[in-house]
Structure 1
Amino acid sequence: HEGISIYKQGNGKGYILVSDQQAHRFQIFPREGTASSPHEHPLLRIVNTSTVESDGSDVTSVALPGFPQGMFVAMSDDKTFQFYRWEDLW
């Protein structure tokens, strides 16, 4: 795996996004863990992207023009950037 991004929400909540570089996808985990174990982060979702051999990513929960719930950006190995609306990842 290469690349970890954190989608921050209030009170320590949010999501952890981890790239699966060879599979061209990202895995999403809860930032806060489970009620019984704060260090246990079960897989919530796998998101396929058009990123090839991801070489970096970042995410924000800040509302931006055209990205009302935030934006996720991933970079391919050829330095092409893909932009995703946060709500489209679900």
Structure 2
Amino acid sequence: MNVCEAAGEISTLPSETTKSYGMQMMEEMESHFPNVFYDNLWDRKYMPSGMWNVFQVAAGMFCEDQSDDSKQEIIDYLKENHTDLYEAAQET
């Protein structure tokens, strides 16, 4: 079960019972800028499935050690995992 199923709504789309903060902000933005549009840039459009877990691990690595050597290890970790997950997604 994913978060949308558990909550009964998609966080940035209108619900029959509530409007999410994201939807409220979109309506406010549209009132000032009528040509604005929503495009889900992160969630599954450009990041292969599994990257959010990689981000979580990388954030933990960064919290433990902010040295320059650790930063390079984190960058390498992100690059390697993105490449692996992206290639795996192309095979399906």
TM norm structure 2: 0.22
Between structures 1 and 2, the one with greater helix share: 2
TM norm structure 1: 0.22
Q: Per chain length, whose mean CA-contact separation is higher, i.e. which structure has more relative contact order (CA < 8 Å, sep 6+)?
A: 1
Between structures 1 and 2, the one with greater strand share: 1
